[in-house]
Amino acid sequence: MRARSHWGWGYADRFPDAEGQAALAAQVGQVLGLPAGALARPVPLDHVAVPTPRVDVPASLGVPCARDPATRARHTYGRSFPDQVRAFGGDFAPAPDAVARPRDEREVEALLEWASGAGVALVPFGGGTSVVGGVECDGARHAGVVTLDLGALNAVLEVDDVSRLARIQAGALGPAIEAGLAPHGLTLRHFPQSFEFSTLGGWIATRAGGHFATLYTHIDDLVAGLRMITPGAGVYATRRLPGSGAGPSPDRLALGSEGTLGVITEAWMRVRPRPRWRASVAAHFTDFEAAVAATRALAQSGLYPSNCRLLDRREAALNQVAFDGTDVLLVGFESADHPLDAPMRRAVELLRDHGGALPRPPTLRDAGAAGRDATAGQWRAAFLDAPYLQSTLLSLGYVVDTFETACTWQDFPALHAEIVDRVRGAMKAHCGGGRLSLRFTHVYPDGPAPYYTFIAPGADLPPGADRRYAQLERWAAVKRAASEALIAHGATITHHHAVGRVHRPWYDRQRSGAFAAALRGAKDALDPAGVMNPGVLLDPA
Amino acid sequence: MRARSHWGWGYADRFPDAEGQAALAAQVGQVLGLPAGALARPVPLDHVAVPTPRVDVPASLGVPCARDPATRARHTYGRSFPDQVRAFGGDFAPAPDAVARPRDEREVEALLEWASGAGVALVPFGGGTSVVGGVECDGARHAGVVTLDLGALNAVLEVDDVSRLARIQAGALGPAIEAGLAPHGLTLRHFPQSFEFSTLGGWIATRAGGHFATLYTHIDDLVAGLRMITPGAGVYATRRLPGSGAGPSPDRLALGSEGTLGVITEAWMRVRPRPRWRASVAAHFTDFEAAVAATRALAQSGLYPSNCRLLDRREAALNQVAFDGTDVLLVGFESADHPLDAPMRRAVELLRDHGGALPRPPTLRDAGAAGRDATAGQWRAAFLDAPYLQSTLLSLGYVVDTFETACTWQDFPALHAEIVDRVRGAMKAHCGGGRLSLRFTHVYPDGPAPYYTFIAPGADLPPGADRRYAQLERWAAVKRAASEALIAHGATITHHHAVGRVHRPWYDRQRSGAFAAALRGAKDALDPAGVMNPGVLLDPA
């Protein structure tokens, strides 16, 4: 099996050798004018130390459990910037005491019962790709911390071809889900950037955003029913239903619960046939406001394009989609049922009406036909490579991350101006400069989901171990500037990256005290001992 | 102002005189073979008695408040079958002690604070159209019952044309909302059957279903943010956002809360321009299974028709859509942005592929053009008249009502068979016979929302006041049979009529104990004194 990196994104073999690092450093220095710091290599996994465990899971529970340093280290962090920086430097101080890997719901229940009695914090762990500190637990208030790895619950259990539904276990990774559905000619078509390394349960617990830009793309809309094991109130099971008006939606309380209410074990998911027809086009704009207006027109047209991603000129250049200083709007449609000439024709009209230039006519493809639109293809490759790039860049001392939000179309210009102002200001003040770019990942009739990427130089960082602290401090300053701007402007602190521990201070200001009280009431009922992922969404009791 | 009926649906003047009643009785007797009971007239409002009030709202609160018998009687019931039968007969025993009509949020807060301290139950009241006992409160465990009528909070406060959002007060009735939006060329396009007489707050509190058969039609999907005043935790305010992944959705906990968590005062709603293009067609089927398959094909096509209503042959005849014994599928599209030739062409292909006959070619219209498809128009008129018809029929002794659900496509045939079996059996056993018909009001890729209408004869009922009790008993027996079938087959007890007090026993079996515990925890945090609409969703504490 191809080895996962113990510190960075994805597969270990994707991290370049020293030569590759140096080449990237030279390229970024030249293209962006941002000099790299000294080249560094990660502390190998067999050199890292983890604290002496405080507790162990009793063997009498019969749940497979590991307490070796390597497994504990591998379950210490997600893949946020600070997670990667610390892991790169060999710092695994917050490692859990043990990693349990239940094989069925009964074993999950046994763990929850034991942990509740013993006062041990439990951290549900899917693919470990959280970028918001979702799986790193401070066990200070608990007798210990045990990570509950869902990896053994990874099957597609049942497929209902008639209703286009599939019952899937929470620990299944994206590719395993697609492999299980493929023999039925079906697909979940939920492709977050983390797709290869994240799980269904993780997507549900964090309200993951899918790959479609419009319509039913969030995991929220794809859940027809689910099961969640709670420590205090047994199985939280919801009926597999296409719709219901019976009280507040139980599914929607589990969605976004981030492991604080219980352990999601499986769900009935809405699936669909593989698309046969596809259409795509790229429109270039010399005026950013016009590009935004075109995007809004498409979002409000009722055409519901599957792709409707606006890349600003910086993002377009970084992703090698355009080098002429234009903002690029990528528009695509797909269908398993019908050709897409009509919606694409109307989309092209809207794009042109708003000043978009189309260097190439739209590509309209039927299943058998080869080839993709070159611009869209380039974008897709860059999309999947981006997290690897972040890992390599941070190894060169850069402070590099993304953050995302959602706001109304009316609020967007002022919000964007303030973000640019604050984030550039923070990069200048703390890092001596940096680049900020923007794309829209999703668009709604009432507003976009802006997604920002920032990168600041690392040349002046101190050498050796101190660089880690400097990188973390700089990152925190920029992240704080971005988050303050979001909360001050009425936007959300996260559109699809979740809250975790990183976003808590701003999440607490975003939600009303009344909702916090209601959530606390629900948690106390389901998790009376307060052992489920403490510190996430709510303070430990 | 046109007077509302004090017992039946809608406007008082829509209830026919004795001659009109007799004509209807003759018609139903002839067409359906179901003889009417003796013709009866409602007890006039000025003849009805209400109990002596137990409490009054202190004048010091400064909240306008009525305690006259007529106002109290008018706020006693919703418009369920048992509500109408009792009101028709002059039974207003469960009348509230007073009816408060706050003019702003401050007055709502004052009422909540007073009621919490005094142990008085508060029943939020929008349009009073609940068909599930949502506004009838048993005050036995409380010092009294005060109805909180939101009717004074009825304005469209703000419109954001750019983001297509409108801030609307909870007490606004459907027509007032549309009137407020019309000057902006916008519409909410949320047209439940109760549209004229129900309110935004009521729709949100009960998760109302809209008039579109697919896509964003439920009020759940139209709420961008809301405000709810809670007795225990202040204002439950959510941000106006197109999307968010920050924890479980606070909006979705308020949606469907049915007045048990607080009083919804306003919401930011997603609105849209009036449609310009429309297309419609009616397909006739001689085989019901083929009609269901055609409906499923459309629901799964990704065409998202705005209308996709299957009427079985009985329903088609009752609504004067077809008299030849065919099942009829009404399909429509609408758009403010583009012509609809392409989706209609594909819809027609799908209909024909499944054996549908199209007596008339599709109608494709641009805004200016006059005329509607005759079949669809006939259906629309019948749709809005149906609740009036129910009121008149019950005045003739019939037991007549509707119930709705949602289930997967795979489960539908068995569920339908069991419903037909149980409901016909109950009508035969308790009423000596009756008719049951079906339509789909909404369709999803994973299943339909079947909506049933039943009518049983009243000829053999005892005369005078005893008839009321007999009607109620018979209704309860049929309703019980229907509800048992739904719950036994994994369906939902309600797709868009809410839970109220009528559906409680089956709702309790539908949800897991864990969700009930979580909801109880949330309620205890927001409404610690347990005064908000007690008995709905949860038992009084």
Three-class SS state of B263: strand
Average pLDDT of B324-346?
Answer: 97
From the list A493, A293, A304, the residue with the least C-alpha distance to A406 is A493
Minimum Cα–Cα distance from A347: chain B residue: B338
pLDDT in tens, B103-138: 999 999 999 999 999 999 999 999 999 999 999 998
Report CB contact under 8 Å: A442, B407: no
> Nearest chain A Cα to B538, which residue?
A247
User: Smallest Cβ distance to A245: which of B445, B494, B515?
Assistant: B494
B224, A446: Cβ pair inside 8 Å?
A: yes
pLDDT for residue B300 is more than 90: yes
Q: Are the beta carbons of B257 and A248 separated by less than 8 Å?
A: yes
Average pLDDT over residues B535-541: 92
Please give the structure tokens belonging to residue B284.
Answer: 């006739």
Output DSSP code: residue A496. S
pLDDT in tens, A325-344: 999 999 999 999 999 999 99
Supply the pLDDT for residue B371. Answer: 45
For residue B537, which residues of chain A lie inside 8 Å, CB to CB? 247
Q: Which residue among A162, A257, A406 sits closest to B243, beta carbon to beta carbon?
A: A406
Q: Which H, E and C letters describe A28-44, residue by residue? A: HHHHHCCCCCCCCCCCC
Contact yes or no for A243 and B449 at CB 8 A:
yes
Give chain A positions within 8 Å (CB) of B513: 233-234
B159 within 8 A of B272, measured Cβ to Cβ: no
State which residues of chain A have pLDDT below 50: 369-371
What pLDDT is attached to residue B379?
67
C-alpha B58/C-alpha B64 separation (Å) is 10
Q: Which of A59, A157, A169 is nearest to A111 (CA)?
A: A59
| Tens digits of residue pLDDT in A163-204 | 999 999 999 999 999 999 999 999 999 999 999 999 999 999
Q: Do the Cβ atoms of B510 and A446 come within 8 Å?
A: no
Q: How far apart are CA B230 and CA B260, in angstroms?
A: 9
Query: How many CB atoms sit inside 10 A of residue A26's CB?
Result: 12
CB contacts of B257 in chain A (<8 Å) are: 247-248
List of chain A residues whose C-beta atoms are within 8 Å of the C-beta of residue B337: 300-303, 346
Going by their DSSP bridges, the two strands A447-456 and A327-335 should be labelled as unpaired
Question: A510 and B239: CB-CB below 8 Å?
Answer: yes
Tokens of B478: 């049929």
CA atoms within 13 A on the CB side of B407: 23
All residues of chain B having their beta carbon less than 8 Å from the beta carbon of residue A444 are: 242-243
The structure's pTM equals 0.97
Proportion of chain B in helix, strand, coil states, percent, rounded to 5? 35, 20, 45
Pairing state between β B144-149 and B120-125? parallel
Helix (H) or strand (E) holding B18: helix B18-32
Residue A374: its pLDDT value, please? 61
* C-alpha dihedral sign at A472, A482, A221, A373: negative
By Cβ distance, the residue of A160, A246, A406 closest to B244 is A406
Tokens at residue B66, please? 């009525």
Question: What number of CA atoms fall less than 13 Å from residue A37's CA on the CB side?
Answer: 25
Q: How far apart are CA B202 and CA B258, in angstroms?
A: 8
Q: Between the CA of residue B271 and those of A302, A444, B160, B340, what are the distances in Å?
A: 13, 12, 9, 21
- What ipTM goes with this model? 0.97
- What average pLDDT does chain B have? 95
- Chain A hits for B354, CB-CB cut-off 8 Å, are none
CB pairs under 8 A between A and B: 319
Short-list A310, A311, A303, A295, CA closest to A335: A303
**In A334-465, alpha helices (H):** 341-353, 374-395, 412-431
Nearest CA in chain A to B164: A446
User: pLDDT class for B219, splitting at 50, 70, 90?
Assistant: very high
Among chain A residues, the shortest Cα distance to B248 is held by A256
- Whether residue B92 has pLDDT greater than 60: yes
Q: What's residue B75's pLDDT?
A: 98
SS (H, E, C) A239-277: CCCCCCCCCCCHHHHHCCCCCCCCEEEEEEEECEECCCE
pLDDT of residue A373: 53
Q: Do B256 and A241 touch (CB under 8 A)?
A: no
- Residue-level pLDDT at B7: 98
CA A216 to chain centre: 17
The predicted pLDDT at position A459 comes to 80
- Residue A465: the pLDDT is 74
Cβ contact (<8 Å) for A515 and B236? Answer: yes
The span from the CA of B252 to the CA of B250, in Å, is 5
CA dist., res. B378 & res. B374, Å (int): 6
CB crowding A105-117: b at 16 or more within 10 Å, else e: bebbbbbbebbbe
Q: Which residues of A touch B509 (CB under 8 A)?
A: none
Of B418 and B372, the one with more pLDDT: B418
Residue A376 · residue A332 · CB < 8 Å: yes
SS (H, E, C) B41-61: CCCCHHHCECCCCCCCCCHHH
What are the E-state strand segments in B315-421? Answer: 327-335, 363-365, 399-404
Q: Given a cut of 80, is residue B372 above it in pLDDT?
A: no
Residue A205 contacts by C-beta under 8 Å, 6 or more apart in sequence?
A: A124, A126, A254, A255, A256, A257, A258, A259, A264, A498
CA separation for the pair B161, B158 (Å, rounded): 10
DSSP notation for A342-377: HHHHHHHHHHHHTT-B-SSPPEEE-TT-----HHHH
Nearest CA in chain B to A229: B514
Long-range contacts of B345-348 (CB under 8 A, 24+ apart): B346/A337, B346/A338, B346/B301, B346/B303, B347/B281, B347/B298, B347/B301, B347/B303, B347/B305, B348/B281
